[in-house]
A and B are shown apart, each in its own frame.
Chain A
Amino acid sequence: MNVQGTVHKYGDHVDTDVIIPARYLNTPDHKELAAHCMEDIDKDFIHKVKPGDVMVAGVNFGCGSSREHAPIAIKASGVSCVIAATFARIFYRNAINIGLAILECPAASSGISDGDQVSVDFDTGVITNVTKNETYQAEPFPPFIKDMIEKGGLMASLKAGKAEA
């Protein structure tokens, strides 16, 4: 699987309160959540993001609250993949559970600039910066997580497991 898009670049410790402020958590509706994605640190994001775009950030992306509304808002905004130097653990787990592609790659995090065109090959973990003509190798998923993603996320994986048992 491959994706390609324009990069929206952010810094370190992007927390779930800025990804989706709690004042909008009175609904689980994906489209409503997406409409406010990132607005407290980048109020233009939702107007400039296009389907397939890539979000790139520094360390500890998604720290703070366990709200699954955060990866939901990013995914529903059209972002195809989040690349960060590191992720906070609850966000990492939530993103995989809901099927938002995420990759840990410190080299890509530091090498990629806002507005770059980037493509991602999820089978190899290779990230290509088309604008700068550079490539970066991301950490591959552990086999356990890869298996879960291939089954279609946590719920589908759980149902598949029950059916086998």
Chain B
Amino acid sequence: MGMTMTQKILAKHAGLDSVRAGQLIQAKLDLVLGNDITTPVAVNEFEAAGFDKVFDKSKIALVMDHFAPNKDIKAAAQCKQCRTFARRFDIDNYFDVGEMGIEHALLPEKGLVAPGEAVIGADSHTCTYGALGAFSTGVGSTDMGAAMAAGETWFKVPSAIKVNLTGKLRPFVSGKDVILTLIGMIGVDGARYQSLEFAGPGVAELSVYDRLTISNMAIEAGAKNGIFPVDDITKAYVSERVSRPWTAYEADPDAEYERTVDIDLSQVDCTVAYPHLPENAHSAREGKDIRIDQIVIGSCTNGQLPDLEAAAAILKGRRLARDVRGIVIPATMNVYRQCMKQGLTDIFLDAGCIVSTPTCGPCLGGYMGILAAGERCVSTTNRNFVGRMGHVDSEVYLASPAVAAASGVAGHIAHPEEV
């Protein structure tokens, strides 16, 4: 029986010729990631277990992004603990305020993830790097702590769902709309414990950034990872950023999939996930009666330069509706600088938005845009659970940057064609 892309990467890292779904394996890791919320718990575990060295100081990445720049004294203490650990073990890839970015935008940008690599991160959106043809998945802090010591971890080899993409995206439609549509089709546990393997001629119609957004939200369907084939688009992105050798894996023609889901990209419209689950997918054309108080454009899902360009294209020469607050958060310092150079920052400011330095802040209800009871936000983030962005009686509507920008201008959920 043939193997999927995910299974091939896992087999290679486990030193095995082949693996099958359900098999428990021990796999070597190319990168172990943590952030300012999950790393302190991992460090406590690491130290309590009595470890006195890390497996490879060049294969650990610590990114201060969730509550940084520090939102309060406790958050400052957590970053300080991470910094102390990074200095103690001379960790090469420690990113603090000034050079940090949102982890899942920063690592691909810095060339820290390449096709065929195996990555774990103590953050559920670590599955983002499947966009580049890597195996990557989220774990908890104890797994991270153990992996920093051992350089390997255990996995149950996942079975797979093939997502067959055909057709071409229509104007204003993006990777965010594709993944919200897919989650709407299969549900928030539709791919639980499985890998989502994207395939088909439609893949070539998606930019690396569309793919990063799609793989990022694989976890919102319960998936272990979401992976794309490596093509010329991937190679062009990776060759500018990665100098070490890497391997592109291909699924075997007779690889086994538990099922296939077909998506015709030309049939996907701008999509909004209503509270309180990412599977509550609706067309952006249905939201005229839903008044909003805030838009957030950013996050590990949609804080890359093309995301901000899409939002700016809508906001250029326009103003946010009265009583709508606009919060724009470039995902990395490089994206932040590009926004200034390209005049996007001026467009956002002229429209009445604020532009923050990189942080995960509002996405998880940390800071920088918390909602009061009864308030609604259209957000380019990834979760709309109860209380996710603030008060338990607030509401988050998930959408693309173009839809968020159009909604900000309209004052209600709006399709970009409406403004």
Contacts and interface: CB of A to CB of B under 8 A. Distances in A.
Best-surrounded residue of B74, B142, B364 (most CB of chain A within 10 A): B142
A86 B189 CA distance: 10
Interface in B108-143: 121-124, 126, 138-143
B140 A66 contact: yes
B239 to A, nearest CB: 31
A66 B222 contact: no
B385 interface: yes
Interface size class of A (residues with CB under 8 A): 35 or more
A4 B365 CA distance: 36
Contact of A97 (B140, B149, B189): B140
Best-surrounded residue of A21, A71, A156 (most CB of chain B within 10 A): A21
B145 interface: yes
Contacts of A159: 49-50
B193 interface: yes
A158 interface: yes
Contacts, number: 134
Given A22-B364, A26-B74, A66-B140, A17 B189 contact: no
A22 B359 CA distance: 14
A88 B139 CA distance: 11
Given A26-B74, A60-B188, A158-B150, A65 B364 contact: yes
A141 to B, nearest CB: 12
A89 interface: yes
Interface stretch (B37-45, B203-211, B289-297, B317-325): B37-45
Contact of A154 (B75, B143, B188): B143
Contacts of A158: 49, 146, 149-150
Interface string B252-266: 000000000000000
A133 interface: no
Given A63-B188, A68-B140, A155 B193 contact: no
B274 interface: no
A68 B145 CA distance: 12
Given A155-B145, A158-B149, A65 B124 contact: yes
A13 B262 CA distance: 25
Contacts of B24: 142, 144
Interface residues of B, number: 50
Interface stretch (B335-343, B344-352, B386-394): B386-394
B218 to A, nearest CB: 12
B180 to A, nearest CB: 16
A67 B67 CA distance: 14
Contacts of A3: none
A93 B139 contact: yes
A60 B222 contact: yes
A64 B363 CA distance: 13
A93 B364 CA distance: 22
7 contacts: A66-B140, A72-B41, A89-B193, A90-B138, A94-B139, A158-B49, A158-B149
Interface of A: 13, 15, 17-18, 21-23, 25-28, 40-41, 59-60, 63-69, 71-72, 86, 88-90, 93-94, 97-98, 142, 144, 153-156, 158-159
Interface of B: 24, 37-38, 40-41, 44-45, 48-50, 66-67, 71-72, 74-75, 78, 121-124, 126, 138-143, 145-146, 149-150, 154, 188-189, 192-193, 219, 222, 224, 277, 364-366, 383, 385-388, 392
- 7 residue pairs, one from A and one from B, having the closest CB atoms: A94-B140, A26-B74, A68-B140, A22-B364, A97-B142, A60-B189, A66-B124
